[in-house]
Structure 1
Amino acid sequence: MQHTHMLKRFYKALFFTTRFYLAAGVIVLLFVLAFFVPPLLAVAEFCTLALTLLVITDLLLLFAIKAPVTALRKMSARFSNGDDNSVMLTVSNPLRYPLWISVLEELPFQFQRRDFVMTARLPPQQSHIFSYTLRPVERGEYRFGNSNLLVTTFFGLVQRLFAGKTEQPVKVYPSYLQLRQYELMAFQNKMQDLGVHRRRMIGHSMEFDHIKEYTQGDDVRTLNWKATARRGVLMVNNYVEEKSQQVICVIDKSRNMKMPFDGMTLLDYAVNATLVFSNVALQKGDKTGLVTFVEQHIEFLPPANKKIQLNKILEMLYAQETQWQESDFERLSVHLRTSLSQRSLLVLFTNFESLSSMQRQLPYLRKLAKYHLVMVIFFENTGLRALTTGSAVTTEDIYIQTIAQKFIDEKRLIAKELLRYGIVSVLSTPEQLTIDVVNKYLELKASMQL
């Protein structure tokens, strides 16, 4: 039984290369020609013997050692959704002669790639690092399979399949790489490059408290010249630190958010923007929370400004998926009204494709706007915009462009209709979503609307 098992393993690991089949084909051709030219028979027999000896030597070089190569995959324990994540595979050759290797990586099925092959030459007793990047477009748990190594020697007649045991799970989280990028740019004062600008405010980022007489050490920039003229002595404005505000991101998970863009759904873009936006709000001293809703199901994370809040938001965003049902804005309105006692900024990520669809939800948005500052984020259809920029040649082209322009204009009408009832709106493309949301938030903070 043991010998049978060893033979099966040997048979499964043995592969003949293209070079072997070419050499065998030439030998067969020589035997055929020897039927007409007898002297070629000796040449054919010599070539057969030489090929046999080379194959045996090749087999001994590859199969005499239990594990001729070793493989080790290194990557992060979690991937960032929508970003390029680096993976490194180190393959080592412990032998005293060089090897040629082809690596067939068993990538997670979510990438739908079955032909991912990398090749390299391994010098004697040295290692080679294969590096590549992967861009996931779905959140969830991924699983890498084995690294299948096809090893050949300098003869190149036989290949040995060695399955490197590199099975490894990895979780794909919302775009935390984008989060780090924003933090680094803020540190280097390069947010302007992405459209995030500082807005100048008159005064201080503090709330006015009272006027008092100037004492040594007070900031001369806070002098109140009108009060000084009335009293005849120097008077200064006294401020208190700005109070922490509540900022709640509300994500719609209905079928409207399942629309794809560049391989990712609108929900994924909303999730990535929520993570970055929540981090910015926390750095501004605000309390951040999260609400996701679809049909009658609502998940609520109370607002807080503790250090662990961002991790709680990240874990909650990780498991969110779009549904095919409609969202119940009425239930959302009631839930937020009862859960939030303090006036808050509600950042609602949704998608209205038509004016009528927005008007169905408008009464509930207006009800929320009575008690909170509501900012509605919805998406511009970039596919329609591309249709309007092309040249119209036929009547059908004109008809298509007219309809596309109608839908684009309707999106702008939605924004105006929301503004009419005191609801802040942001119409953004998916790739600019994070920048637009952060800019609008900073604008609201600067204008004291929040």
Structure 2
Amino acid sequence: MVAVVLVFVPGELSFGLLAVNGAVLGVAALDWALAPGQSRLRIERRFPAVLALGVEGRITWVVHNTTARSVTVRVADELAPSLRASTRRARLRVPARGRTEATATLLPARRGRFDIEEITVRIQGPLGLMARQGTRRVPGVLRVYPPFKSRDEAELRINKARILEVGLRSARGLGGGTEFEQLRDYGPDDEFRRIDWAATARTGKAIVRTYRAERNQTVLILLDNGRVMAARVDDVPRVEHAMDAAMMLTTVATRLGDRCGLVAFDSDVRAVVPPARRREQLSRVTEAMYTLEPQLIESDYAGAFSFAVSRFRKRALLVILTDLVEQAVGESLLPALPLIVRSHLVVVAGVRDPDVERWAGEVPDGPEAAYRKAAAVAALDERSRTVARLRGFGATVIDAAPGDLAPRLADTYLKVKATGRL
């Protein structure tokens, strides 16, 4: 909107200036009157329903002009700073009875649900002196999911799942972990002891029994959302690494015919996805996790374990995604393990901090570096003791570097299936 300044000068020039001011006001009023009202324009906002954290997306504003004259429009959108929009404003020249659109990029820096409600619209008059401004409600919801960084690793393991069947042949000798699949003709690579003699007698040719991995087994992920998961490793909170591991395990397990579910907890249970092997299970698990933020409180492992075993009684592979810090494990996790280790196979997995390992291995060049090295060595010793204590309780422990947690967890699951431990 253009400001109109009235100038008052005493003397013989005052009447002339008043006339000029009056003319300017008249022109400005005419310009304002000719500017289309808000109801004459239709505003759309288009963006993906879902984006992944750190993955670029596009947002588009579309302005429809129902009037017989072209119009200049400025829009300013209500976008959260963490969406990191390249711009939230646009200037559009919209033709008569036409439409024009403007686009910006989004690069989310935070997970969660973003309710985007209002757009401020300024419609300029034909002379460019005045404008009509209003706020339009254009509601929309953008969901920012955790990034599935290990997706390719998951596909690689699924594609190589036939290797699992090779392992299952040796597992049959241990008497577990297999399901009878079919009878087929004996081949040169088959073991003699796998011949089905009854079928061989009936058909008059050698027939062997083939097996496959047991299916419809249960995998339950217990995702710690408490204080220890807020610490940053590789510039992101530990919980982000754990979420990636949860997504990879869900993908691999359900694609191989097993049931996978999720319980997220801190001092209370925050999200539950019952185990299932349906195609959309990954989406359900991701949907349950994407709004979670680590709470700066101690996690109640006993409460989470009691909830899990009371709701899901079938023997399962229980995967606890947490941090292997000595105090939390010693005071809360270890006392709660007897609730689950007797009836379930337990895996405890966490991500270690490469900075701590680097500090422990460096040669100090001064008092500050020496203190840092001593603290890092002590932290690694505590972590080693924690791993040993967990294994002493019968848990399988994964202490992985960033980027390795998800693949190592999936490999552990595949090994469990291959050896028939479930």
| Alignment check: 8 A CA contact 2:34 2:125 kept | yes
| Alignment check: 8 A CA contact 2:90 2:102 kept | no
Give 1:178's aligned residue.
Answer: 148
Give 1:151's aligned residue.
Answer: 123
Report how far residue 349 of structure 1 moved. Answer: 1.1
TM-superposition CA deviations, 1:358-402 (whole Å, max 9, x none): 233335436633433211122323664686799965422432344
1:119 aligns with 2:90: yes
Give 2:108's aligned residue.
Answer: 135
1:224 aligns with 2:177: no
Report how far residue 286 of structure 1 moved. Answer: 0.9
Question: How far apart, in 1, do the equivalents of 2:315 and 2:123 lie?
Answer: 66
Give 1:270's aligned residue.
Answer: 242
Q: Give the match's secondary structure for 1:256.
A: helix
Report how far residue 328 of structure 1 moved. Answer: 3.5
Give 2:166's aligned residue.
Answer: 203
Q: Give the match's secondary structure for 2:148.
A: helix
| Alignment check: 8 A CA contact 1:246 1:286 kept | yes
Question: How far apart, in 1, do the equivalents of 2:301 and 2:67 lie?
Answer: 67
Residue segments in structure 1 that go unaligned for 5+ positions in a row: 1-14, 211-215
How is 1:341-420 mapped onto 2 (pairs within 5 angstroms)? 342-353=314-325, 355-360=326-331, 361-365=333-337, 368-381=340-353, 384=356, 394-408=366-380, 410-419=382-391
- For 1:120, give the aligned amino acid: R
Residues 98/375 of structure 1: CA separation in 2 closer, same or farther (3 Å cut) = same
Report how far residue 329 of structure 1 moved. Answer: 3.2
Report how far residue 403 of structure 1 moved. Answer: 2.0
Question: How far apart, in 2, do the equivalents of 1:234 and 1:134 lie?
Answer: 64
Question: How far apart, in 1, do the equivalents of 2:55 and 2:391 lie?
Answer: 34
- For 2:386, give the aligned amino acid: I
Deviates more, 1:372-381 or 1:427-436: 427-436
1:438 aligns with 2:405: no
Residues 92/334 of structure 1: CA separation in 2 closer, same or farther (3 Å cut) = closer
Question: How far apart, in 2, do the equivalents of 1:46 and 1:205 lie?
Answer: 98
Residue segments in structure 2 that go unaligned for 5+ positions in a row: 176-182
Q: Give the match's secondary structure for 1:145.
A: strand
Q: Give the match's secondary structure for 2:346.
A: strand
Question: How far apart, in 2, do the equivalents of 1:117 and 1:315 lie?
Answer: 27
| Alignment check: 8 A CA contact 1:196 1:439 kept | no
How is 1:258-297 mapped onto 2 (pairs within 5 angstroms)? 258-259=230-231, 265-267=237-239, 269-271=241-243, 273-295=245-267
Residues 128/115 of structure 1: CA separation in 2 closer, same or farther (3 Å cut) = closer
Question: How far apart, in 1, do the equivalents of 2:235 and 2:17 lie?
Answer: 57
Give 1:75's aligned residue.
Answer: 47
TM-superposition CA deviations, 1:167-216 (whole Å, max 9, x none): 23x263754x739x93xx58xxx945xx9994745726567499xxxxx9
* Equivalent in 364, 371, 396 of residue 424 of structure 1: 396
* Equivalent in 214, 217, 220 of residue 243 of structure 1: 214
Question: How far apart, in 2, do the equivalents of 1:91 and 1:263 lie?
Answer: 40
Residues 54/442 of structure 1: CA separation in 2 closer, same or farther (3 Å cut) = farther
- For 2:116, give the aligned amino acid: F
Residues 390/218 of structure 1: CA separation in 2 closer, same or farther (3 Å cut) = same
Question: How far apart, in 2, do the equivalents of 1:167 and 1:447 lie?
Answer: 53
| Alignment check: 8 A CA contact 1:191 1:197 kept | yes
TM-superposition CA deviations, 1:247-294 (whole Å, max 9, x none): 111122332233456896544553454244223211111122333344
| Alignment check: 8 A CA contact 2:87 2:105 kept | no
| Alignment check: 8 A CA contact 1:196 1:435 kept | no
Query: For this pair of structures, how many residues does the alignment match?
Result: 401
Deviates more, 1:388-397 or 1:338-347: 388-397
Residues 280/203 of structure 1: CA separation in 2 closer, same or farther (3 Å cut) = closer
Report how far residue 52 of structure 1 moved. Answer: 5.3
Residues 126/368 of structure 1: CA separation in 2 closer, same or farther (3 Å cut) = closer
Residues 377/155 of structure 1: CA separation in 2 closer, same or farther (3 Å cut) = farther
- Percent sequence identity over matched residues? 19
Report how far residue 449 of structure 1 moved. Answer: 4.7
Point out the structure with the larger helix share.
Answer: 1
TM-score (norm 1): 0.67
| Alignment check: 8 A CA contact 1:222 1:237 kept | no
| Alignment check: 8 A CA contact 1:174 1:275 kept | no
Report how far residue 218 of structure 1 moved. Answer: 1.7
Question: How far apart, in 2, do the equivalents of 1:150 and 1:139 lie?
Answer: 30
- For 1:178, give the aligned amino acid: F
Question: How far apart, in 2, do the equivalents of 1:275 and 1:397 lie?
Answer: 38
TM-superposition CA deviations, 1:398-443 (whole Å, max 9, x none): 3234424542454355335534554222234566544443344334
Question: How far apart, in 2, do the equivalents of 1:106 and 1:435 lie?
Answer: 39
